[in-house]
Amino acid sequence: MSFTLEGKTAVVTGSGRGIGRAVAEKLAAAGAAVMVNDLDEAAVCETKSALRASGYRAEHIVGDLTDPSFPGKIVDATLEAFGSVDIIVNNAGYSWDSVIQKTTDEQFQAMLEIHIAVPFRVLRAASTYLRESAKKEIAAGKRVMRKVVNITSIAGTDGNPGQAGYSSGKSGVIGLTKTLSKEWGRYNVNVNAVGFGLIETRLAQPLTGNESNIEMKGHSIRIGVQPAMLDSVKQACPLGRLGTREEAAGAVLFFCSPLSDYVTGEVLICGGGFHF
């Protein structure tokens, strides 16, 4: 069975690299116009250029999603560029890990801000367009389905030592997903979440001493996973390996497609069968 996203417009946050970029590529390949976003201007511009070089429609917007005014700018820029918002993928995020006694208030709040406050603000900013469009379509006897996919993690469903903030934020987005699925069902919006296990991205790179850091608001944050943990995950995972970015994006694509038109308020775990 085939489907197309022709005529649809997607917003994908954190799509300069990694899973977000893979999601943008799959949505564009299915026919959607895509607004890509990232804090890293070079990365997001490269993503947009690559999409356009493949013949796809893409625009970009650079900015800090944790700025309370920025989510509204993403929605406005998308409407200006493409005239609609049909798919929203709240993908942006990062990890800043410590055991609880070493976790500062700033660190904990940073995880809540990016993983739950940002998706909330993006969806609130889009709510007027989504509701008003649906009311007009319903009055005209049309059913037009729109899609929201929030990204969570098995750290949010199962918990994970050293990730009190990250796990709390990723758990919170599940509550947001389930609530909005009930608020927005009458507007023909499917609201679902995909929870990832360990996927081959820079956040899951082995810590060897040569790993890259990310710079966030004056902090240099080491990202990656201890090699011993990666080995244990592979051994405990029924599929025996980490997932690829393309496999992760495939789970998101399902929730963005017409195949999920009667699925809402659900969490799909894409983790190879592994749980913490």
Which residues form the catalytic set?
A: 166
How many C-alpha atoms does 37 have within 13 Å on its Cβ side? 26
Cα separation, 181 vs 193, whole angstroms? 10
- How many Å apart are CA 76 and CA 68, to the nearest integer? 14
- The residues near 214 (Cβ < 8 Å, ≥ 6 apart) are 94, 220, 221, 223
Identify the helix (H) or strand (E) that includes residue 149.
Answer: strand 146-153
Encoded amino acid at 252, one letter: V
Tokens 């996203």 correspond to: 5
Long-range pairs for 186-189: beta carbons < 8 A, 24 or more residues apart? 186/134, 187/130, 187/131, 187/134, 187/135, 187/146, 188/134, 188/137, 188/138, 188/143, 188/144, 188/145, 188/146, 189/130, 189/134, 189/145, 189/146, 189/147, 189/148, 189/264
Contact 255, 268 (CB under 8 A): yes
What CA–CA distance (Å, rounded) separates 70 from 192?
23
Q: What is the largest CA-CA distance in the chain?
A: 60
* Segment (H or E) for 36: strand 33-38
Instruction: Copy the structure tokens of residue 231.
Output: 């080995």
Residue 193: phi, psi to the nearest 5? -135, 150
